[in-house]
Amino acid sequence: MIDGIIFAVKVVVFGGVTMITQKVVVTEPLGLHLRPAGVFCEESLKFESKIQIRKGTSLLNAKSVLGVLAAGVKCGDEIELVCDGSDEQEAIERLTEILRGGKIERRDDDYDK
């Protein structure tokens, strides 16, 4: 991302269905443990689009805390967001911003000092 511009969004056509994907390196210091996963899912639920996380060979529901936790995403992991729906562009931009920018609320006791 340079000056707030998100790069490398690609359009995928699968079986006549168009969707967009975005690879993201997670910068949240502790990865997507319970609290960040909850915040991420809460944000995902604001969109009508189907939103999934691909990590390795797994494709998981980004609107489910259990799905996000099952991905086992750690700081520095590269994941791919897959969005399909009427607000897919807005969804992918917002969720990428959260994952890249550390926009998840933190408490001081979550981190080693």
Q: Which residues are catalytic?
A: 33
Looking at the chain, the number of H-run helices and the number of E-run strands are 3, 5
Give the DSSP per-residue string, 66-96. Answer: HHHHHHT--TT-EEEEEEESTTHHHHHHHHH
Question: What is the identity of the amino acid at 51?
Answer: I
Q: Is 110 helix (H, G, I), strand (E, B) or coil?
A: helix
Within 10 A of 10 (CB to CB), how many other CB atoms are there?
10
